[in-house]
Amino acid sequence: MNRYFLHQYFAQETASRLAILRHTPQHITLIGADGDISRALLAQPFPQAQFTEYDPRSDWLAHAATQRQPTGLLNKLFHKTIPQICQPFDFRLPEAQADLLWANLALLHTAEIVPILENWAAALKTDGLLFFSHLGGNTLPEIRRLLAAHGIACAAPTLVDMHDLGDMLFHHGFYDPVTDTAELVLTYQNPDTFWQDMDNTGVWAALRVSDDTAARAIVQDAWQTGELTQITLETVFAHAIKKIRLPENESVVQFYPRKPAV
């Protein structure tokens, strides 16, 4: 089973939006190791960029590193080692270091969105770009209805509406936020594959069910009986530009050339 199937889908969809970049990023910060999928995608258009990768899971970092081991003598001689930092997603990042910050489904592993966005904004240089993928509030309606029928609540505080996410970006360090969404319907033949996707991506944890053991048993039984055959994810893709940070009581003054007299 491909443990990075969904990561690959979301990374490729996010990468399709890179055409808006006007400048080549020199330093790219990766939030979340995904089997080296995101780095490999970004290295194609930006081969000279320096990467730094952050993830709280040491085994995920280690696996990403193994995926980029060079083969052949020349590749080994010119191979660039990518710094990897194992730390929680809410730990402070180096300030104003990155031209581009990229997070593939990383928000699913966080407790609150706003502090993470502020951390990402601080990590970007002025006019640096943020690209990330996430899941919206209409994710897993089939499972939510099933669990609600059994009296199990799903708080899902980080699975938010696309427009709310755009507002969060605008009010917490970014301007010109762009978010778009679509439905992704997945059909599973094997419940084991379903659980792998739910746990690897962090979607199940993001539901914040009131009784995890009972909820898993209910969902597993639904797969076994055929009551559950497919799930729906609300995909969210977003990008935004880091705002200029000015001292208190200061503002940007812009001058425009005077129009010639008619």
Q: Is 149 inside any structural domain?
A: yes
Return all residues near 61 (Cβ < 8 A) that are at least 6 apart.
33, 53, 55, 84, 86
Residue closest to 10 by CA, chosen among 162, 235, 196, 199: 235
pLDDT tens string for the chain (262 positions)?
578 999 999 999 999 999 888 889 999 999 999 999 999 999 999 999 999 999 999 999 999 999 886 644 444 444 468 999 999 999 999 999 999 999 999 999 999 999 999 999 999 999 999 999 999 999 999 999 999 999 999 999 999 999 999 999 999 999 999 999 999 999 999 899 999 999 999 999 999 999 999 999 999 999 999 999 999 999 999 999 999 764 455 444 445 466 555 5
Q: Is 255 inside any structural domain?
A: no
Q: In this structure, what CATH number is given to the domain that contains residue 8?
A: 3.40.50.150
Q: Is 256 inside any structural domain?
A: no
Using DSSP's 3-state secondary structure scheme, residue 146 falls into helix
- Average pLDDT over the chain reads 90
Q: Is 251 inside any structural domain?
A: no
Q: Is 122 inside any structural domain?
A: yes
Structural domains in the chain (count): 1
pLDDT of 244: 78
Q: Which domain holds residue 63?
A: 4-242
Q: Is 131 inside any structural domain?
A: yes
Residue closest to 10 by CA, chosen among 190, 110, 96, 139: 139
Q: What is the pLDDT of residues 229-255, one digit of tens each?
A: 999 999 999 999 999 764 455 444 445
Residue closest to 99 by CA, chosen among 173, 174, 29: 29
Q: Is 112 inside any structural domain?
A: yes
Q: Is 13 inside any structural domain?
A: yes
